[in-house]
Structure 1
Amino acid sequence: MTRWNDGLDEVERVSPDITDETNALPARYFTDPDVYEMEKEKVFGQYWIYAGHANCIPEVGDYYTRTIGDREIIVVRNHDDEVRAFYNVCAHRGSAMVDETPMTDPDNARRIRCPYHLWTYDLDGSLTSTPASFEDARLNPDLEDEDVAELDAGENALMEVRSDRIGPFVFVNFAEEPMSLDEQAGKMKAELEALPLEEYQLARRIVSEVECNWKTFGGNYSECDHCQANHQDWITGIALDESELEVNDYHWVLHYTHAEDVDDEMRIHDEHEAKFYYLWPNFTVNMYGTADGYGTYLIDPIDEERFQLVADYYFKDSELSEEEAEFVRTSRQLQEEDFELVERQYRGLKSGALAQAQLGPNEHTVHKFHLLAQEAYEA
């Protein structure tokens, strides 16, 4: 049952049963700035969050930065050819060490050096050197040089962030005792790792700032009841009635059957369908079924009423062919059609009229999304 802010209806928790009257998050969870501040810790500080693609840092010393909530990290390939993550915070006095460095334009460093006082770290995070002023007491008349203790390289190392991978996809987790990535990703992990994702290169990135809450777009991505009316070019090749929305513990999969068979040689996977994976809370992997490649979306919140959609496209070669460029343009058209929809929805949510929405029977993926958000808030 839809509940309005008319003083008569009260909101309730999301019911585990989609057929119950209260099957959606209260509207204020999409518009309240205090909720977004809570999400920085309860959602983005507790679950595995996508940090980037390992193929973008192929050489030892390659690194990029990533900001998640208020946490800025460095993702780097070390001397053992491992991809690891550290806070971009010097152990000396807390300075940020490297400038913002996007995954599309990574930098390379033999060491990580803080420009403030030149504390220098190896690629495994250990402290390797400090200036001479930290080794003696030349400017302090109350200390003798022999009173200055040698800095322990391990005790003064960078703070590492727990990381793990699904194929080339790097994830990080800031929780003290998180569930494993295997548990959060479920069978999605095995399905993706069975594909040769590492053989594909980042060919195009499109970043868009959208004026709505990140969960609004997440819900839109997770269903296709809106497709018939709003994606008419796309659905001409899709048999919507034969499609399936599969729900798992922390991820769901949208299976879209093509109206006609597509040449297997044109696809990274062998099934006669497009597969769109959504991994809670804000990462998708898009197996389109009509191109020899794949895409990812990062739904990256800026605040309670804005997010960035970071759309990355991977093909066999980083230089797009004419057909691949046309494919990306088609994908971009779908994004822009969705942006109009979610911004329109958010205008309505911000009006304050709606207290709690009502989901339909085929929006079980959206229902799962709302249940996970509620579970995170109450944890």
Structure 2
Amino acid sequence: MTRWNNNRDEIGAVSADITAETNALPAKYFTDPEVHEMEKEKVFGQYWVYAGHATHIPDAGDYFTRTIGGKQIIVTRDDDGDVRAFYNVCAHRGSKMLDDTPMTDPGSLSRITCPYHLWAYELDGSLQSTPKSFEEASLNPDLDDDAVSELDPEENGLMEVHTDAIGPLVFVNFEDEPSLSLAEQAGSMKTELEDLPLGEYEHARRYVSEVECNWKTFSGNYSECDHCQANHQDWVRGLELMDSELEVNDYHWVLHYKHKEDVDDEMRIHPEHEAKFYYFWPNFTVNMYGTADGYGTYIIDPIDEGRFQLIADYYFRDADLSEEEEKFVQTSRQLQEEDFELVERQYEGLKSGALGQAQLGPNEHTVHKLHRLAQDAYNA
């Protein structure tokens, strides 16, 4: 049942059974700044998190940067053609080295150089060179040059972050030794996506939106469609919602949406006659459209406890979209904007402090899974 902050209702942990009385994450986990700080380590510091799309850095030295859970990283391709990630932090005195560089406008370099004291690193992260002032003690009257130790390239290299991939989708993990492999966390989603030609599609559009609510508020909204009939009427007109299914797995769930009118197989990247929307814990989605030969990705990127960025990328056979494809992207954008209004309205209510713990419905089992995973992360 719903629990109010009225000094009478008792708030409890998220139940394993969705039919139990406390089946939702308590409201404080959406509004408390301390929870946001905890999530940087407990959520974004322990699980595999989407970093970006490898097709944007096809050549050695191509790179982009990302900030995940407050940690700034460089994602680059090394001289052997492998995608690697490093903290965007110099091994000398901790300076940020590269300016923020989005995946959609990547940079290119032959080596990573810190602008502060010009320490330079190879694309494998090893120290390549330092200025002469680090090799001799000419300004220090109390030290002879021969007392200056040579810097070991490996021991003074950049701090690397674990990387792995599902097709062209690159993920990072900040743990020293990841407790889960990407294959274990992704489960069947990995095989299903790797069977598709994701890397053959071109990036066509990116929309970045700042939304005034907690990231989990939007994640919950994405993960169910009980709100669709009332709020996405143009979209649901073409769906058979009662014939659709919400499939839950260990760390991902899939929203299978059936369309009233089928389209030819060449109009979809995937073989199933449906739209398939994957949510991958903690904050990434892959959207396989049922009526367009393309796919999209969302990064639901927390800014603080009450704001997030939605980074929406669209991939099609050709980056030069047809009129129909452009219309499709704009329909997707309309859905986003309708959802932004809903989740900001929900968050206004959560911030009031009246609600202690919500009550999920039987078809919100995907939201229940999201809340359970968050609780498990907090308690780990």
Q: Structure 2 CA distance, aligned partners of 1:374 and 1:258?
A: 35
1:29 corresponds to: 29
Amino acid at match of 1:250: Y
Q: Structure 1 CA distance, aligned partners of 2:265 and 2:52?
A: 28
Amino acid at match of 2:206: R
Q: Structure 2 CA distance, aligned partners of 1:314 and 1:80?
A: 27
Q: Structure 2 CA distance, aligned partners of 1:268 and 1:298?
A: 21
**1:280-318 residue CA offsets vs partner (Å, 9 max, x unmatched):** 000000001111110000000000000000000001122
Q: Where do residues 75-90 of structure 1 align in structure 2 (5 Å cutoff)?
A: 75-90=75-90
Amino acid at match of 1:74: I
Q: Where do residues 222-371 of structure 1 align in structure 2 (5 Å cutoff)?
A: 222-371=223-372
1:58 corresponds to: 58
Amino acid at match of 2:124: D
2:70 corresponds to: 70
1:193 to 2:176 alignment: no
Q: Structure 2 CA distance, aligned partners of 1:217 and 1:206?
A: 16
Q: Structure 2 CA distance, aligned partners of 1:146 and 1:316?
A: 61
2:155 corresponds to: 155
SS in 2 for 1:318: coil
Q: Where do residues 118-129 of structure 1 align in structure 2 (5 Å cutoff)?
A: 118-129=118-129
**1:135-174 residue CA offsets vs partner (Å, 9 max, x unmatched):** 1111111111111111100110100000100000000001
Displacement after TM superposition at 1:267 (Å): 0.8
SS in 1 for 2:315: strand
Amino acid at match of 1:378: N
Q: Structure 1 CA distance, aligned partners of 2:177 and 2:241?
A: 41
1:207 to 2:208 alignment: yes
> Identity percentage over the alignment?
77
SS in 2 for 1:99: coil
5+ residue gaps in structure 2?
none
Displacement after TM superposition at 1:176 (Å): 2.3
1:43 corresponds to: 43
Q: Structure 2 CA distance, aligned partners of 1:265 and 1:125?
A: 43
1:13 corresponds to: 13
Amino acid at match of 1:171: F
Q: Structure 1 CA distance, aligned partners of 2:347 and 2:276?
A: 27
Displacement after TM superposition at 1:22 (Å): 0.4
1:135 corresponds to: 135
Q: Structure 2 CA distance, aligned partners of 1:248 and 1:234?
A: 26
SS in 1 for 2:241: strand
2:168 corresponds to: 168
Displacement after TM superposition at 1:362 (Å): 0.6
Displacement after TM superposition at 1:321 (Å): 2.0
Q: Structure 1 CA distance, aligned partners of 2:113 and 2:202?
A: 29
Q: Structure 1 CA distance, aligned partners of 2:118 and 2:32?
A: 42
1:95 corresponds to: 95
Amino acid at match of 1:246: E
2:113 corresponds to: 113
Q: Which moved more, 1:108-117 or 1:168-177?
A: 168-177
Displacement after TM superposition at 1:322 (Å): 1.6
Displacement after TM superposition at 1:43 (Å): 0.3
Q: Which moved more, 1:45-54 or 1:261-270?
A: 261-270
**1:51-81 residue CA offsets vs partner (Å, 9 max, x unmatched):** 0000011111100000012100000011111
SS in 2 for 1:23: coil
Q: Structure 1 CA distance, aligned partners of 2:22 and 2:28?
A: 15
Amino acid at match of 2:9: D
SS in 2 for 1:91: coil
Displacement after TM superposition at 1:177 (Å): 2.7
Q: Which moved more, 1:50-59 or 1:174-183?
A: 174-183
Q: Structure 1 CA distance, aligned partners of 2:317 and 2:289?
A: 15
Amino acid at match of 2:138: R
Q: Structure 2 CA distance, aligned partners of 1:281 and 1:320?
A: 31
SS in 2 for 1:89: coil
Q: Structure 2 CA distance, aligned partners of 1:34 and 1:5?
A: 19
SS in 1 for 2:275: strand
Amino acid at match of 1:322: E
Q: Structure 2 CA distance, aligned partners of 1:159 and 1:321?
A: 44
1:181 corresponds to: 182
